Amino acid sequence: MRPLCILLLLLLFSGCLGRNDRVEGAAEAESEPEPALFTAEDPAPAYDALRDRAAGLASRLADGLDDRQLAAQVIISGIDGKGHLTADMRMLLTECPAGGIMLFKYNLDAETAAIRELIAEAAAVAAVPAVPPFVAVDHEGGAVNRFRRGVAVVPPAGSYWEMAQDRGWDSAIAHITSDSFAAGREINDLGVTMNLAPVAEYLNGENRDFLGDRSYGPSPLFTAAAAAAFIAGMEQAGVLCVVKHFPGSAGADPHLFPSVLKGDKAALVELSAPVASLIRGNQVRAIMVSHSAVPALDSENIASLSPAVMGGWLRQELGFDGLIICDDFSMASAVGPSAVGGLKPEMAAVRSLAAGADMVLVWPPDLRRTHRAILAALGDGRLSRERLREAAGRIIFEKIRMKLIDGEGNDE
C-alpha cells in the first residue's frame, strides 16, 4: 500500500475522522443509533467532563463495596445453566456476586428467549447495589463462536486479510466495522456486554499453527487497523472488547501445553506492536494478558503473574489505564510446575491480582474457592484492599462508560 494510504488509515483509526466514518457500512440501511458510550472521539471538553464524572462515581461506588463484594467484583465466572441458572449456581452467585459472568456454548445452545432469560437471571443474581456484572462471551468470529449457527455471524479474522489483498485495505476495514457492529447489536440485544475479542496478534512463524485464521494476517499495521475497526463496531453497539493476547502467543495451544515467548525485549515489543498501537490511539479499554512465559522480562513468572509485564510494561511504559484481564488459571500453560510452581488456580488468581491484573476468569467449580482465597489474602496482607479497590474502580468506570450504570449510579 502506498504511504499516503497508510497514513490515512492510521488517522482513521486514531479517531481523527469521527465515529460516523467508522460505522458507515452499518449506517447505510438506517440512521446511526445514539452512541452507547462516551469515547475520546467526543469533543475534548465533553469527553473530559464525562470521564471525570464517571471516574468520581466509580470511585464512590468502589468505596461502598464491602470486602465480600470487592473480592467478587474482580472475578469473571462461568455459570451453570441453560435458560435458567441451576439451583447451586444461583446460590453460588448470591454468595459470590461476580463482577462478570461468562457464557459458553453449553449455556447458549438454546432459543433466543431462553438465552435472554438466563442472562437476565444471572445478571440480577450477581448484581450488587448499583453495580451489575459484565456479561461476557468469546465472539471473535469464524470458529470462535459460542452461539447457535446463524446467530451474530462474523467471518473469521483471516478472511479480511484475504479481502484486503483482493479489494484493498479500506474495503476490508469497512467490512470489519460493519460486520462487528451488526454482530454487536445482535449479542447486546441478548444481554451480552463484553466480548473477549479481537485477537490483535499478527501471524508469524511461531504462532501460525495455533492462531490460524483467528489472526488478521501477517501485517502488524493491518492487524492494528483491523482490531481497531472490530472494537469500534462492537463498542458502538454497546459491547466492551477485550483485546487478546498480550504480549503474544507461542506456537502451542496454551490450553494444552506450556507457552514460551523466547525472544528478547526488542522481539517482544515487535510482537506486541498492534496492541501498543491500539493503546497509543486510545482505542482499547480492556486487554487480556496471556499465560505465556516471558523469560526476557521475568525469569520466574508467566505474563499473567508478572508485575514486570502488567505493571511495568503495560501500565508504565505503554500508559495503559484500562482493564487488565487474565484467562483462567486451569489452563495447562498456567498450572504446570514451570509456570506457577504447581499453584492451584485460586492461588494463581490471587497472585495475578497482586501483580496488577484487574479481573480473572474462573470456571464455576473454582468460583467459591477463588473468592475465599481472595478474601483470605485480603485478611493476611498478601493482597491489599487498595489493590482490590483500584481494580474495582477501573471495572466500575468501564461499566459506567458502557452505560451499564447510569450517571447517578443506579442500574438502568
Which of 213, 327, 328, 358 is the catalytic position? 327
Q: Among 170, 253, 255, 411, which one carries the catalytic annotation? A: 255
Q: Is 291 a catalytic residue?
A: no
Q: What angle do CA 213, 181, 158 make, to 5 degrees?
A: 10
The three state secondary structure string of the chain is CCHHHHHHHHHHHCCCCCHHHHCHHHHCCCCCCCCCCCCCCCCHHHHHHHHHHHHHHHHHHHHCCCHHHHHHHCEEEECCEECEECHHHHHHHHHCCCCEEEECHHHHCCCHHHHHHHHHHHHHHHCECCECCEEEECEEECCEECCCCCCCCCCCHHHHHHHHHHHCHHHHHHHHHHHHHHHHHHHHHHCCCEECCCECCCCCCCCHHHHHHHCCCCCHHHHHHHHHHHHHHHHHCCCEECEEEECCCCCCCCCCCCCECCCCHHHHHHHCHHHHHHHHCCCCCEEEECCCECCCCCCCCEHHHCHHHHHHHHHHHCCCCCEEEECCCCCHHHHCHHHHCCCCHHHHHHHHHHHCCCEEEECHHHHHHHHHHHHHHHHHCCCCHHHHHHHHHHHHHHHHHCCCECCCCCEC
42 is catalytic: no
- Active centre residues (catalytic): 255, 327
